[in-house]
Structure 1
């Protein structure tokens, strides 16, 4: 079953549980519901993302807010204007800690930079849950996401399946020090080289569409035999596509994240594919497990939110799901 279908199942199940508890409030089970309500009374879950400016993080935000609404807890989602604003993210984390949330859900842009702040939270008894990107945090509650190296490998395999042994390829990475995009690039590079491809260019574009277009234009000036490109997120993949189309070239470009714009591009026969990492589920599961942590319930140390390979064959189904979760 597709991951986004599972997502709807998770949401529907949560909603049905809430309805059931509401309908049975005057019955003998009401005492249990009242106790759970007291556990969460006055509690806020703070969610600090890498940014709120890209579709991927909007899906994470949507999942987190849906979980808060359906499971009965206030959720506050913040993030800097771009993924390159690492210090701004640190400041946001510290600001949220100062507000004494019930739990803190964070996707660290540069894990080593934010760990000291996160340690402050754990020392104060605030559960810290990491999503999308892991960090060496001793007392974290859990990591929720996918292995970015594995996602990159899947992208590399997909791109290699569209090429011939010996073809030259380019890799477009995110902001320097962003471990999520760095790991995606490492995974893609290994898969491509294992399949006999030649990686002739590897450049960062800060997860920015316009910068990726400029970077790709420069790469094509120096490498005229590029046969395929992997970009570590969809915004960069779309920027790469603009540069490729401007040159009148028709080569496969693979992205990562599974955003609406990317999926629509795949349906239109432009982008060749994207690797979806279920950002909506990451947000939802982050809040769901934060509630468990607040209540003192057991939370698994690692929770896999899954990977989907999106191509023209299944893009329409994915698009319908994405549009359903972003409706107001």
Structure 2
């Protein structure tokens, strides 16, 4: 089994701030604020996420809010009910831009739909920092996140290490057009095929547990000889696992994101592993770097938040960390 290959970037920073992580969003389609506007001289940062309905994005929110408390910056976090609600995210983004914050952090669900808004915001002098998902546009300040292709590649390698050459595997992707999950799938597919695995199905499940379970049920109706599944996020991995368990099959399932539920499942001997990105760090470093830009300081054009390979060997350490930053 593979050992950890990537350290969580800035873990010490996150640990020093974890008592400040605060609570998660007030609702799936709403948002929340934190920070002391007096401490930051009235400065504010808006954060527009893909959704506030999943643990991964709540970790991003927790990191952003912790940084708001740490640096005395007013932080507003919003996100639609689901990652597939692309137009709702665009509307939220336009609303936040209209409120003239000091800077804005964005995790675009479908980059091409938000580029016009981002370009207009940037041209008006508003610093625009991307987190989790990168997109090229005129005036981008920086990208903070992990390389999704690499995360998928490591997931594919991990899954392949648990299987035999020639085994049948399945890829479960997110919403069509979501570049983050698309890149994870590309990376996993490359690694699995390079290791001699046979990819027999590749289906989208919109980053949703119920949909992933249904998709996997349909796949298993046609072929029960599946030996492994890579899912582009942990919610989908849990859904896949439920379908596999219902058929009493021995299928290795690897997820992505390193959520608390997934890590606990690994400890319970259910999920085989997950590729943990650093959502807390993305949120924290996003606000931290936004404040630097607002003060006229220069920052790197690309900031790596890091990834970690989680298996039963190191799952308890990851679970302890996640619990410490959860409400």
Partner of 2:294: 294
Cα distance per residue 1:221-256 (max 9 Å; x no partner):
112211000000000000000000000112110000
Partner of 1:306: 306
| Structure 1 residue 124: Cα displacement | 1.1
Detail structure 1 runs of 4+ shifted over 2 Å in the superposition.
1-15, 37-40
Contact 1:4–1:318, Cα closer than 8 Å, also in 2: no
**Structure 2 CA distance, aligned partners of 1:237 and 1:10?**
26
| Structure 1 residue 135: Cα displacement | 0.5
Contact 2:256–2:275, Cα closer than 8 Å, also in 1: yes
Is 1:205 the counterpart of 2:209? The answer is no
Partner of 2:177: 177
Contact 1:62–1:325, Cα closer than 8 Å, also in 2: yes
Cα distance per residue 1:18-43 (max 9 Å; x no partner):
xxxxxxxxxxxxxxxxxxx9994222
Contact 2:39–2:72, Cα closer than 8 Å, also in 1: no
Contact 2:9–2:281, Cα closer than 8 Å, also in 1: no
Contact 1:51–1:82, Cα closer than 8 Å, also in 2: yes
Partner of 1:95: 95
Contact 2:43–2:101, Cα closer than 8 Å, also in 1: yes
**Structure 1 CA distance, aligned partners of 2:199 and 2:280?**
32
Contact 1:213–1:243, Cα closer than 8 Å, also in 2: yes
Report the RMSD for the aligned CA atoms in angstroms.
1.8
Task: Rate the CA distance shift 1:296–1:39 in 2: closer, same or farther, 3 A.
Answer: farther
Q: What does 1:9-20 align with in structure 2 at a 5 Å threshold?
A: 9-10=13-14, 12=16
| Structure 1 residue 78: Cα displacement | 0.2
Cα distance per residue 1:125-153 (max 9 Å; x no partner):
00000000000112111000011000000
SS in 1 for 2:158: helix
| Structure 1 residue 55: Cα displacement | 0.2
Greater mean alpha carbon deviation, residues 194-203 or residues 135-144: 135-144
Partner of 2:157: 157
| Structure 1 residue 193: Cα displacement | 0.2
**Structure 1 CA distance, aligned partners of 2:267 and 2:17?**
31
**Structure 1 CA distance, aligned partners of 2:219 and 2:17?**
48
Task: Rate the CA distance shift 1:227–1:298 in 2: closer, same or farther, 3 A.
Answer: same
Partner of 1:107: 107
- Listed as ranges, the gaps of 5+ residues in structure 1 are 16-36
| Structure 1 residue 10: Cα displacement | 4.5
Higher helix share: 1
Question: How many residues of Structure 1 are paired with residues of Structure 2 in the alignment?
Answer: 306
Is 1:266 the counterpart of 2:270? The answer is no
Partner of 1:117: 117
**Structure 2 CA distance, aligned partners of 1:5 and 1:304?**
7
**Structure 2 CA distance, aligned partners of 1:3 and 1:96?**
34
**Structure 1 CA distance, aligned partners of 2:260 and 2:15?**
20
Partner of 2:216: 216
Partner of 2:145: 145
Cα distance per residue 1:155-187 (max 9 Å; x no partner):
000000000000000000000000000000000
* TM-score, length-scaled by structure 1: 0.90
| Structure 1 residue 8: Cα displacement | 3.8
Contact 1:105–1:131, Cα closer than 8 Å, also in 2: yes
